[in-house]
Structure 1
Amino acid sequence: AHRLTEELGGTKFWAERTGSVPAASFTVTKWAWLAEHEPEAVRAARAVRLPHDYLTERLTGQGTTDRGDASGTGWWASGTEAYDEEILAHVGLDPALLPRVVRPGEVAGTVRESHDLPFSKGTLVACGTGDNAAAALGLGIRPGTPVMSLGTSGTVYAVSRRRPADPTGTVAGFADARGDWLPLACTLNCTLAVDRVATLLGLDREAVQPGDGVTLLPFLDGERTPNLPHASGLLHGLRHDTTGGQLLQAAYDGAVHSLLGALDRVLDEDADPSAPLLLIGGGARGAAWQRTVRRLSGRPVQVPEARELVALGAAAQAAGLLTGEDPAAVARRWDTAAGPVLEAVERDEETLARIAGVLSDAAPLLERGTDTA
């Protein structure tokens, strides 16, 4: 990822050209790695597909993708909404191996005749999209509405009418499933890291206690936001009277601090800072997660009752294809974002400042991947 960034003009070039700075998870980076380490596999390749592209092709017999998943490859130019010939040439990928990009609302194909598909021949097939774009569609969110997803990793995103281009690499400038954009930032350490800390302490994940002196940066798998791929966890401010519950609360605080810092970069300047933050994902119903997000964001928090938002986004896309409606409007009619709204509380500026200070002071150690406790 670092080499690709430098070889083709640096972070500004990539952000402006593709909307994102390459990370190890991007398809362009994986293809470049494959070409270097397994060139025989590259020579044998007959097509390059993302997982949902493969499923669509199994159904229709046609190679298609959507702009949302295409925008996460690193070889799709967000300005022209077409594959970038310069980048493809640089990594040695023939554009003929790539799927056609289908526009939102366009039929990707129809189900082909096959003995092993449980669908009628001729059934319409929509273009599909990636998981975050599908969840945004399933929520029916309007531009500027902030979303925080608490899963194994954490994500924050919002729909925007402006094409993102963040040269710091914090925000990925993905396309959404409707024709707008989905600026998104991702942290590697979220619910999995907090649960690991709870397990080490022998505590239930809700067994938190307030404390104002201990800081835990839960970068147990390195980190992407901030970009510290070799980092390990860091514990600071431990005292004789520190309790296990306070350590656990510090893990929640560290994870949410990273997400909120990314959210500030995701949202447009004209976004309403008092709008409820939609909290989704596996951790969204956890009381400790909810309290931590409210305390550190200072925002009201809304927890949608609908659970399978990615599937609901797929259903809304299918409904929109059949009726010609905006699929986000379909989801809003289904009221998929409905759920309790937890009132805003005063933002805990002291904790935010303490975590930021520890992170700044420890940055040289974290970047070297030093085990620190």
Structure 2
Amino acid sequence: MKYVFGIDLGTSAVKVLLMNQYGEISIEKSKPYPLIQEKSGYNEQDPEQWFLKTQEAITEITSEFEGDIQDIEGISFSGQMHGLVLLDENRHVLRNAILWNDTRTTEQCKRIYDVVGNKRLLDITKNPALEGFTLPKLLWVQENEPRIFGKADLFLLPKDYLRYRMTGQIHMDYSDAAGTLLLNVGEKEWSKEICELFQINPDLCPSLVESHACVGTITPDFAVKTGLSESTKVFAGGADNASGAIGSGILADGRTLCSIGTSGVILSYEKKSDRDFKGKVHYFNHGAENAFYTMGVTLAAGFSLSWFKDVFAEHETFEEMLEGIDEVPVGANGLLFTPYLVGERTPHADAQIRASFIGMDAAHNKKDFVRAVVEGITFSLHESVVIFRESGKSIDSIISIGGGAKNETWLQIQADIFNANIVKLSSEQGPGMGAAMLAAYGCGWFESLKECSDRLIQPAKTYKPIQENVEKYQKLFELYKRVYSQTQDLNERLKMFRK
């Protein structure tokens, strides 16, 4: 039996799984690491923690593995997008990584529009200038930490730094590079025009490869420390959402995904890069070669639920906290929640907006609040579904993965709010599974990613919309959409009172 590793480098933890040739997960480990939040809107991490925790997880897995270590043939990656890792000429990290959910770069986004122009930026990168992307972070360091920027010899994204530490080789795949605002998405090359406009040396950008490309083998030192063979092949991997799409079978026209992790996305497959969403949703290179995907993002999806748990239900598990929300009626007894804890991405590119509970009543209990949070997250994701439908895309069936797929009531809520069939997979590993599939394809187990998907991914259950609930949620959705405009100015004025 042959095996591959899928490594999912997330925002809160690294998840490592060992998959066999039948798509079965033999062993999996998760290792958390902290966020560094010095100020409101600042989110950083120490890249060394990514490496150490991944090494620890792999070492535990190899110690439990009962087969021949030579049968572990490959490793690939899924990684949190957009995070900026700066290296000097000796390949040492110059500062903490600035993460995707860091919102300090509003002024840099304005500068990008002033210098490049909205239309030209969309022509080249297919995406608007948002605080989460990598170029605004580079410009922030350029303006605020010129000494560090002057020492920078290379920038990487999180999983690329992790892979570098495991192999000594430096690359970036197209699906992750598409989220930097430095890639010409249609041409699949770094944009010299954007680099020149902002006085960024093009050599700061790493060489580009496909997600399934073999970029080397692990270093002898990493082999000794983890118990792996030095011959273990390492593949480039993909951005977390691209990998999640692969791991969920989003590899053909008409396929749509709802993925709820720390953030949440509605993602749809695209054959070409020529659809025009006018920057309302993201347009990225897929982890599958010569394909693309469009994506709407809710910044604080699962994070909204984990925030509520940490603040109001600290000693409960997520399962305990969600228990009984099926008994709460549609609309949470008149309580609405907008999940803008760290700003919002789609359809409101707004770093200053913050979350609200609307309609709080003395009769509400904790279950009402939990139901409202779940519904609010789903309403936010539904705004992306609406954009896709208004563009002419048909969305009748959606594969759901992540935290939103772990609770039966939440799956039914998705079906009712999206007014679509929601498909739960029999083995749902999301981005980690996609990373393992990239390694399996790279190792030659399958002729194509599509064959890999067809063989390994199977639906388990479908949740159909309940028409009575659909109609109620359509009315509630109209109210939900009004909350943003009616709280925008208030949140802008409250900004001065935040830490």
**Which TM-score band applies after superposition, normalised by the shorter structure?**
0.7 to 0.9
Q: Deviations over 1:262-294 (max 9, x none)?
A: 12334695643322x111112321233223212
CA contact (8 A) 2:116 2:194 kept: no
Match of 1:133, as an amino acid? A
Q: Give the Cα–Cα distance (whole angstroms) in 1 for the partners of residues 377 and 219 of structure 2.
A: 49
> Aligned partners of 1:252 and 1:105: how far apart in 2?
35
SS at match of 1:306: coil
CA shift digits 1:98-150 (9 cap, x unpaired) = 22111355433x22663443554555432211111111112222222111111
Equivalents in 2 of 1:182, 1:64: separation in Å? Answer: 22
The amino acid across from 1:40 in the alignment is R
Higher mean Cα deviation, 122-131 or 151-160?
122-131
Secondary structure in 2 matching 1:254: helix
Q: Choose the corresponding residue for 2:379, options 257, 260, 276.
A: 257
2:287 aligns with one of 177, 202, 207: 177
Q: Is the 8 A contact 1:193 1:218 kept in 2?
A: yes
> What is the correspondence of 1:86-101 to structure 2 with a 5 Å cutoff?
86-101=193-208
Q: Distance in 2 between the 1:27 and 1:343 partners?
A: 39
Which residue pairs with 1:219 in the alignment? Answer: 340
Aligned to 1:289: 410
Aligned CA distance change for structure 1 residues 234 and 160 (closer, same or farther; 3 Å): same
Is contact 1:303–1:341 with CA below 8 Å preserved after alignment?
yes
Task: Determine which of 195, 204, 216 is the counterpart of 2:321.
Answer: 204
Q: 2:371 corresponds to which letter in structure 1? A: Q
Partner of 2:142: 35
| Matching residue within 109, 120, 123 for 1:13 | 120
Per-residue deviation, residues 195-215 of structure 1 (Å, max 9, x unmatched): 444666669233431245332
CA distance in 2, matches of 1:175, 1:61: 25
Q: Normalised by the size of structure 2, how large is the TM-score? A: 0.67
2:153 touches 2:203 (CA, 8 Å); kept in 1?
no
Map 1:191-340; keep pairs closer than 5 Å.
191-197=302-308, 204-208=321-325, 209-210=328-329, 211=332, 213-225=334-346, 226-239=348-361, 241-266=363-388, 269=391, 271-275=393-397, 277-323=398-444, 325-334=447-456, 336-340=457-461
SS at match of 2:142: helix
Separation (CA, whole Å) in 2 of partners of 1:308 and 1:259: 20
**Contact 2:260/2:401 (8 A) holds in 1:** yes
Contact residue 301 and residue 342 of structure 1 kept, 8 A: yes
TM-score where L is the length of structure 1: 0.87
SS at match of 2:481: helix
Structure 2 residue 223 is the aligned partner of structure 1 residue 117: yes
CA drift of 1:176 comes to: 0.7
Instruction: Name the SS for the 1:219 alignment partner.
Output: coil
State the partner residue of 1:134: 243
Distance 2:367 2:165 in 1: 50
**What amino acid maps onto 1:317 in structure 2?**
L
Structure 1 gaps, min length 5: none
Q: Distance in 1 between matches of 2:458 and 2:238?
A: 20
Counterpart Cα distance in 2 of 1:201 and 1:57: 40
Q: What is the aligned partner in structure 2 of residue 80 from structure 1? A: 187
Q: CA deviation at 1:32?
A: 0.5
Residue 117 to residue 88, structure 1, CA distance change in 2 (3 Å)? farther
What are structure 2's unaligned runs of at least 5 residues? Answer: 1-107, 314-319
Distance in 2, matches of 1:23 and 1:152, equals: 18
Contact (CA 8 Å) 1:144, 1:267: kept in 2 or not?
no
Contact map agreement 1:222 1:232 (CA 8 A) in 2: yes
